[in-house]
Amino acid sequence: MTVRPLLTLLATLLFTAPAAAHDLWLLPPAGPVPDGKPVTIRAHSGMDFPKGDIAPDPAAFLKRLVVYPNGAVGEVDAAGKDGVSGLLTFTPEKPGLYVVAVQTKPRVLTLDADRFNAYLVSDGLPHVYLQRAKESTLNQPGKERYSKSPKVLVRVGTGGQHDPTRPVGLPLEIVPLADPFARKPGDALPVRVLFDGKPLAEANLGWDRPGDGDAPSGTVRTDEKGEALIPVARAGLMTIRLTHMTRPKTAEYEWESFWTTLTWTVPE
Which pLDDT band, with edges at 50, 70 and 90, does 58 fall under? very high
Q: Is residue 18 part of a domain?
A: no
CA distance 233 to 221: 18
Asked if 21 contacts 146 with a C-beta cutoff of 8 angstroms, the reply is yes
Residue 3 reports pLDDT greater than 50: no
pLDDT, position 13: 44
Q: Is residue 8 part of a domain?
A: no
Q: Please write the tens of the pLDDT for every residue from 113-140.
A: 999 999 998 888 999 999 999 999 999 9
Q: Is residue 253 part of a domain?
A: yes
Mean pLDDT value across residues 50-57: 95
Q: Is residue 255 part of a domain?
A: yes
Asked if 61 contacts 186 with a C-beta cutoff of 8 angstroms, the reply is no
pLDDT, position 32: 80
Helix H or strand E encompassing 129? helix 126-134
Chain mean position to CA 107: 17
Q: Is residue 131 part of a domain?
A: no
Determine the residue type at 75. E
Q: Is residue 118 part of a domain?
A: no
Q: Is residue 3 part of a domain?
A: no
pLDDT, position 106: 97
Q: Provide the β-strand partners of residue 27.
A: 42
Assign residue 249 a region: left if phi > 0, alpha if psi is -120 to 50, beta otherwise? Answer: left
Any idea of the CA torsion for 26, 27, 29, 31, to the nearest 10 degrees?
140
- The answer for residues whose C-beta is within 8 angstroms of residue 116's C-beta and 6 or more apart is 20, 141, 142
Which pLDDT band, with edges at 50, 70 and 90, does 159 fall under? confident
Angle CA(28)–CA(84)–CA(61) in degrees, nearest 5?
70
Q: Is residue 165 part of a domain?
A: yes
pLDDT, position 21: 59
pLDDT, position 11: 46
Domain count, the chain: 1
Question: Containing domain of residue 201, as a range?
Answer: 23-108+142-266
- The answer for residues whose C-beta is within 8 angstroms of residue 134's C-beta and 6 or more apart is none
Asked if 35 contacts 69 with a C-beta cutoff of 8 angstroms, the reply is no
